[in-house]
Amino acid sequence: MDDAPEKLDCSLLMTSRRRFLAATGPTLAAIGSGSAQKSGDQDGKPLFSFGLMADCQYADADRVGSRFYRESRPKLTEAVSELNRHELAFSFHLGDFIDKDFKSFADLKPITAKLRSPLHHALGNHDFDVADEFKARVPAELGLNRTYYAIRKAGYRFLVIDTTEVSTYRYGPGDPRTSEAEAELRKIAGARLPYAQNWNSRVSDAQLTWLTTQLEQASAAGESVLVLGHHPVVPEEVHCTWNRAALHNLFKQHKCCKAYFNGHRHSGGYALKDGVHYLTLHGMLDTAQNAFATARLFPSRLEIRGFARQPSRTLEFR
């Protein structure tokens, strides 16, 4: 079900994809016991809660349309302050922490350092919009020892995937991985698929194997799975990851997989397909309002409490 977004106590701050949108309108990180049994819901208390943010997309740059790049810093500050008011096991930012320029990371670190819950990142396309000599340093700048990883807690397994792994933007010109991705993009474009865009990309075959193994292990352990990444999977549209069909088929085949969370499409969205919930978070960058959420996790459902532009929603699990 949908509810109105939560009103923030403090005054909302101004905030704001580039010309396209303007023109077209660590390893398995064990946190707690992954094999722990999920307790009941008799007292109405969640098993635990976590924070959700996406597309802060900060840059020291002037406003472009509805994108207020500089104001992403105070908006992130606002989000951190609100998240600190809640008892959270951890928080996630689902890609595009910056818009451009490697130095932008340093401008945001003092803000997230004040977050009381551990912050876990998924990589986004704009995170690699830096000078070629800095591209290889981006994951470490976000505290990532691995670009895709798992977190286990209280009978749940969180799988953070890297949808930027095969891309035209991550490795720079002249790199054979860039050439291979460009050839793949031409093939997708030839098939007239809407997500044949150079700001999209996909997980690698090796990562798909890892993801399959994680889902199989979770099923065997009786765990429920929540997957998080940057690019959308469902519905099919211009922002989706290139191998969206393979990902959806994998999710629907494993009943332990309950939901996929992502960013990238700043206007947000929601879909339920084959028993899997697909939730696109509203981008923090856009409009005069902020956007982020907390999530309360129960054995059979997840309650999203949205702030500002982010709607609240309850996801009932299959």
Each residue's pLDDT tens digit, 212-221: 999 999 999 9
User: Domains in the chain, start-ordered, CATH in brackets?
Assistant: 2-40+50-204+227-316 (3.60.21.10)
With cut-offs at 50, 70 and 90, classify the pLDDT of residue 2. very low
pLDDT of residue 38: 56
How far is 201 from 136, CA to CA, in rounded Å? 17
Question: Could you say which DSSP state residue 128 is in?
Answer: G
pLDDT > 90 in the chain, percent: 86
For the chain, give the mean pLDDT.
90
pLDDT of residue 18: 44
How many angstroms separate the Cα of 5 from the Cα of each of 11, 89, 282, 290, 293?
Answer: 15, 22, 12, 11, 9
Task: Give the number of other Cβ atoms within 10 Å of residue 191's Cβ.
Answer: 7
Selected residue with higher pLDDT from 3 and 182: 182
Each residue's pLDDT tens digit, 237-292: 999 999 999 999 999 999 999 999 999 999 999 999 999 999 999 999 999 899 99
- Residue 196: which region, alpha, beta or left (left: phi > 0; alpha: psi -120 to 50)? beta
How many angstroms separate the Cα of 10 from the Cα of each of 43, 75, 79, 93, 315?
Answer: 31, 11, 11, 22, 28
Is the pTM of the predicted complex or chain greater than 0.85?
yes
Burial of 244 (0-12, 13-18, 19+ CB in 10 A): buried
- Among the listed ranges 36-50, 107-121, 197-211, which one has the minimum average pLDDT value? 36-50
Is 60 exceeded by the pLDDT of residue 22? no
Question: Could you say which DSSP state residue 58 is in?
Answer: B
Is 50 exceeded by the pLDDT of residue 172? yes
pLDDT of residue 308: 97
- ∠ CA 76-231-287, nearest 5°, is 40
How far is 109 from 314, CA to CA, in rounded Å? 32
pLDDT > 70 in the chain, percent: 86
Is 90 exceeded by the pLDDT of residue 30? no
pLDDT of residue 3: 46
Query: Mean pLDDT across the stretch 26-36?
Result: 35
Query: Mean pLDDT across the stretch 3-31?
Result: 39
Query: Mean pLDDT across the stretch 189-195?
Result: 98
Question: Could you say which DSSP state residue 283 is in?
Answer: P
Selected residue with higher pLDDT from 4 and 226: 226
Each residue's pLDDT tens digit, 293-315: 999 999 999 999 999 999 999 99
Is 60 exceeded by the pLDDT of residue 4? no
User: Residue 144, Cα to own-chain centre: how many angstroms?
Assistant: 14
Selected residue with higher pLDDT from 167 and 40: 167
